[in-house]
Protein backbone atom coordinates (compact mmCIF):
# COMPACT_ATOMS: atom_id res chain seq x y z
CA UNK A 1 0.00 0.00 0.00
CA UNK A 2 1.32 3.45 -0.78
CA UNK A 3 0.37 6.65 1.02
CA UNK A 4 -1.60 9.24 -0.87
CA UNK A 5 -3.25 12.53 -0.15
CA UNK A 6 -6.95 12.96 -0.71
CA UNK A 7 -8.01 16.39 -1.91
CA UNK A 8 -10.43 18.01 0.53
CA UNK A 9 -13.11 18.38 -2.16
CA UNK A 10 -12.80 14.66 -3.03
CA UNK A 11 -12.84 13.33 0.53
CA UNK A 12 -16.00 11.25 0.86
CA UNK A 13 -15.54 11.07 4.64
CA UNK A 14 -15.51 14.86 4.95
CA UNK A 15 -12.35 15.18 7.02
CA UNK A 16 -11.22 18.72 7.65
CA UNK A 17 -8.10 19.87 9.40
CA UNK A 18 -8.73 21.42 12.80
CA UNK A 19 -5.83 23.69 13.76
CA UNK A 20 -4.39 23.68 17.25
CA UNK A 21 -1.61 25.49 19.10
CA UNK A 22 0.66 24.10 21.79
CA UNK A 23 3.45 25.89 23.61
CA UNK A 24 6.88 24.31 23.90
CA UNK A 25 9.12 25.96 26.47
CA UNK A 26 6.96 29.05 26.05
CA UNK A 27 7.11 29.11 22.22
CA UNK A 28 3.76 28.64 20.44
CA UNK A 29 3.73 25.95 17.74
CA UNK A 30 0.89 25.29 15.34
CA UNK A 31 -0.38 21.83 14.55
CA UNK A 32 -3.43 19.92 13.38
CA UNK A 33 -5.83 17.87 15.49
CA UNK A 34 -4.74 14.24 15.44
CA UNK A 35 -1.01 14.96 15.39
CA UNK A 36 1.14 13.68 18.19
CA UNK A 37 3.24 16.10 20.22
CA UNK A 38 6.27 14.69 18.38
CA UNK A 39 4.50 15.30 15.05
CA UNK A 40 3.93 18.96 15.92
CA UNK A 41 7.56 19.32 17.02
CA UNK A 42 8.90 17.64 13.88
CA UNK A 43 6.61 19.68 11.62
CA UNK A 44 7.97 22.85 13.23
CA UNK A 45 11.51 21.83 12.31
CA UNK A 46 12.66 20.52 15.67
CA UNK A 47 14.63 17.28 15.52
CA UNK A 48 15.51 17.03 19.22
CA UNK A 49 13.92 18.25 22.43
CA UNK A 50 15.61 16.36 25.23
CA UNK A 51 19.20 15.76 26.28
CA UNK A 52 20.55 12.46 27.49
CA UNK A 53 22.92 11.94 30.44
CA UNK A 54 25.93 12.70 28.23
CA UNK A 55 24.31 15.92 27.00
CA UNK A 56 23.60 14.46 23.56
CA UNK A 57 20.36 15.57 21.86
CA UNK A 58 17.37 13.23 21.82
CA UNK A 59 14.13 13.31 19.87
CA UNK A 60 12.13 10.67 18.04
CA UNK A 61 14.09 7.44 17.62
CA UNK A 62 11.60 4.57 17.28
CA UNK A 63 8.41 6.61 16.88
CA UNK A 64 6.25 3.89 18.46
CA UNK A 65 6.79 4.46 22.20
CA UNK A 66 9.36 1.78 22.90
CA UNK A 67 12.66 3.68 23.30
CA UNK A 68 11.69 6.62 25.57
CA UNK A 69 14.03 9.04 23.73
CA UNK A 70 11.22 11.52 23.09
CA UNK A 71 10.17 12.18 26.71
CA UNK A 72 8.68 15.59 27.50
CA UNK A 73 6.57 17.14 30.24
CA UNK A 74 2.99 17.91 29.13
CA UNK A 75 0.77 20.05 31.37
CA UNK A 76 3.12 19.31 34.31
CA UNK A 77 2.96 15.53 33.75
CA UNK A 78 6.57 14.31 33.45
CA UNK A 79 7.95 11.58 31.21
CA UNK A 80 5.25 11.69 28.54
CA UNK A 81 6.27 9.96 25.31
CA UNK A 82 5.84 12.67 22.66
CA UNK A 83 5.42 10.08 19.91
CA UNK A 84 2.41 8.49 21.66
CA UNK A 85 0.59 11.56 23.06
CA UNK A 86 -1.88 13.30 20.77
CA UNK A 87 -1.49 17.06 20.97
CA UNK A 88 -4.44 18.97 22.41
CA UNK A 89 -5.07 22.65 21.78
CA UNK A 90 -3.47 24.62 24.61
CA UNK A 91 -1.04 21.91 25.80
CA UNK A 92 1.96 23.30 27.66
CA UNK A 93 5.01 21.20 26.77
CA UNK A 94 8.34 21.49 28.56
CA UNK A 95 11.50 19.79 27.35
CA UNK A 96 13.49 17.56 29.71
CA UNK A 97 17.18 17.00 30.33
CA UNK A 98 19.21 14.25 31.96
CA UNK A 99 22.50 16.06 31.43
CA UNK A 100 25.25 16.17 34.07
CA UNK A 101 23.33 18.36 36.54
CA UNK A 102 20.69 15.65 36.85
CA UNK A 103 17.09 15.58 35.66
CA UNK A 104 15.07 18.72 35.62
Instruction: Specify burial of residue 30 (Cβ count, 10 A radius: 0-12, 13-18, 19+).
Output: exposed
pLDDT above 50 for 21: yes
pLDDT at 48: 92
pLDDT tens for 35-92 read 999 999 999 999 999 888 888 899 999 989 899 899 999 999 999 999 999 999 999 9
Q: What was the pLDDT predicted at 17?
A: 81
Q: Where do the domains of the chain lie, and which CATH numbers do they carry?
A: 18-97 (3.10.20.440)
> What pLDDT shows up at residue 14?
73
| Tens digits of residue pLDDT in 89-104 | 999 999 998 776 544 4
Q: Please tell me the predicted confidence (pLDDT) of residue 1.
A: 47
Helix%, strand%, coil% for the chain, nearest 5: 10, 30, 60
Q: Are 74 and 91 in contact (CB under 8 A)?
A: yes
CB 93, CB 73: distance < 8 Å = yes
CA angle 80, 81, 85 (to 5 degrees): 85
Amino acid sequence: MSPRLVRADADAVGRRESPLTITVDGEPLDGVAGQTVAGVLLASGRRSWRTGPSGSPRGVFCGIGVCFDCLVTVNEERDVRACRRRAQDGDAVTTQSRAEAGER
